[in-house]
Amino acid sequence: MTRITPLVLSGGSGTRLWPLSRELYPKQLLPLTDPDHTMLQSTVERLRGLPDLAEQSVVICNEAHRFLVAEQLRGTHLPAAAILLEPVGRNTAPAVCAGALHALAGDPDALLLVMPADHQIADPAAFREAIGAGRTAAEQGALVTFGIRPAYAETGYGYIRARLNGGGVSGEPVPVAEFVEKPDAATARQYVESGDYLWNSGLFLFRADRYIQELERFEPDMVAACREALESAGRDLDFIRLDSEAFARCRSDSIDYAVMERTDDAMVVPMDPGWSDLGSWAALQAVSPVDGDGNVAIGDVLSQGTSNSYIRSEHRLVAAVGMENAVIVETADAVLVADREHVQDVKKVVERLRADGRPEPLTHSRVVRPWGSYESIASGERFQVKRIIVTPGASLSLQMHHHRAEHWVVVRGTARISRDGEEFLLSEDQSTYIPLGVQHRLDNPGKIPLELIEVQSGSYLGEDDIVRFEDVYGRG
């Protein structure tokens, strides 16, 4: 029997969950509902136990997220056979096209399970049951999607109309009558009352060749561009870099618009696995455990006379007094306070911050790198202080700076320093100086994380003042 290959879409930025989700550290890479797994990890972990599952997955992500994605997948039962890097975002239709073409190169009978990396599914067993229900139809050439039995009249989701005839929660797939856009409140109530409408989950199961066949019927230029992008792709480490010029020629479009709404072979499996796309703070609150006052409290939180609120502290005490239906999220560099009815407007805040050229939409004060992380502690005119953590066995690039010098003080672990051809070790409480213009490298030869304080001084302290000569991670 043909094995099912998971095709995981991990390209989103999750702006509605700002300030926790940032462009360079989006929601799919965060542990939002499970402290032990990020959303990406949960996406593949929920397939554990699925019959005839391929041993590896295919993941499509933003180039800026590649090291985080690779590292997180190593901690799951289903590592990535390939990580395809999108040079630009073009929505889901081109992304899945590139993934399908890659899968076909290794298996002409590839059966793809397309899953966004940022969905919550509370009942993985029910999801696996629905996959099994749709498998035969997919193997026979149908393009199968999964529809969620609506629990209420939601206006934030698209809907699928199907001839359900009061059928069970999950069972055999039925033909899709139509896909419909996000409705207004009155229309959503009509959909739910009719019993013939399902929430559109954005989950799919189909043969890779059938998807390409249908996409070639409707969008031949997109398929041609994706073929060229894959044929001209660069390869380094675990990554396949889709050719930028070719992929950029793809028209930005979703699977729904490009294929599913136009094909005659769309089928839907109704299911109820406790699904949510976690598209807002209100959605995250709805799937999180609450206290006796209906509050979700995460971190160092104190509430007084507060009810039905989502309160999250990442770094310090947050006290909420007399609040109702509020969302309060604290991070090291930003705090969000919003009425729960208006959390969809968080995206507008992010847009304003971007327009002002501020860094808060892009990254946290703690920045993750393939070798570890760094965090800015203090800064001023001509100086900056950072806390740097290097994971055991990891190494920074061999580099130099044109505009700054650096002082390093080791506070934990052992550092191996290469400086202007000289190599030496530093242990706790020891320090060294890296003059401006000198080639240097830092790595951790020990068994525990290396932690050090870096003091930068100079006329320009931007992260782009780095000239790399060697880098094990393939960065230029």
pLDDT value of residue 355 = 96
Whether residue 437 is found in the same domain as residue 322: no
Which tokens is 415 given? 């550092």
Q: Which residue has the tokens 């997948």?
A: 73
Whether residue 147 is found in the same domain as residue 61: yes
Q: pLDDT (tens digit, 9 = 90+) per residue, 250-288?
A: 999 999 999 999 999 999 999 999 999 898 999 999 999
Q: Which residue has the tokens 């213009």?
A: 437
- Euclidean distance between CA atoms 57 and 77, whole angstroms: 10
Handedness of CA 136, 140, 146, 147 (dihedral sign): negative
Decide if 292 contacts 356 (C-beta within 8 A): no
pLDDT value of residue 168 = 44
Q: Is residue 51 part of a domain?
A: yes
- Euclidean distance between CA atoms 327 and 346, whole angstroms: 11
Whether residue 45 is found in the same domain as residue 136: yes
Residue after which a domain boundary falls, among 297, 323, 352: 352
- Euclidean distance between CA atoms 42 and 76, whole angstroms: 9
Whether residue 450 is found in the same domain as residue 371: yes
Helix (H) or strand (E) holding 269: strand 266-271
Whether residue 332 is found in the same domain as residue 410: no
pLDDT value of residue 165 = 60
Q: Is residue 357 part of a domain?
A: no
Whether residue 115 is found in the same domain as residue 153: yes
Q: pLDDT (tens digit, 9 = 90+) per residue, 337-384?
A: 999 999 989 999 999 999 999 999 998 888 888 899 999 888 899 999
- Euclidean distance between CA atoms 197 and 82, whole angstroms: 36
Q: Is residue 360 part of a domain?
A: no
Q: Is residue 419 part of a domain?
A: yes
Helix (H) or strand (E) holding 427: none
Whether residue 151 is found in the same domain as residue 41: yes
Which tokens is 284 given? 């995250």
CA atoms within 13 A of residue 449's CA, in its CB half-sphere: 11
Whether residue 40 is found in the same domain as residue 182: yes
How many CB atoms sit inside 10 A of residue 68's CB?
Answer: 22
> Where residue 445 sits, what CATH number does that domain have?
2.60.120.10
Residue after which a domain boundary falls, among 276, 306, 326: 276
Q: Render 51-83 in DSSP notation, one character per residue.
A: TTB-SSEEEEEEGGGHHHHHHHHHTSSS-EEEE
Whether residue 272 is found in the same domain as residue 288: no
Residue after which a domain boundary falls, among 257, 276, 295: 276
Q: Is residue 358 part of a domain?
A: no
Cα dist. 436→335, 405, 407, 458, 467 in Å? 37, 4, 11, 8, 12
- Residues in Cβ contact with 216 at an 8 Å cutoff, skipping those fewer than 6 apart: 223
> Where residue 194 sits, what CATH number does that domain have?
3.90.550.10
Whether residue 426 is found in the same domain as residue 325: no
Q: Is residue 361 part of a domain?
A: no
Which value, in Å, is the radius of gyration of the alpha carbons in the chain?
24
Host domain of residue 375: 366-470
Whether residue 261 is found in the same domain as residue 288: no
> What residues of the chain score a pLDDT lower than 70?
1, 164-170, 475-476
Whether residue 67 is found in the same domain as residue 179: yes
Q: pLDDT (tens digit, 9 = 90+) per residue, 199-257?
A: 999 999 999 999 999 999 999 999 999 999 999 999 887 799 999 999 999 999 999 99
Q: Is residue 383 part of a domain?
A: yes
Total tally of structural domains belonging to the chain: 3
pLDDT value of residue 164 = 66
Q: Is residue 92 part of a domain?
A: yes
**Nearest of 95, 167, 169, 161 to residue 126 by alpha carbon:** 169
**Cα 355 → chain centroid:** 23
- Euclidean distance between CA atoms 184 and 193, whole angstroms: 14
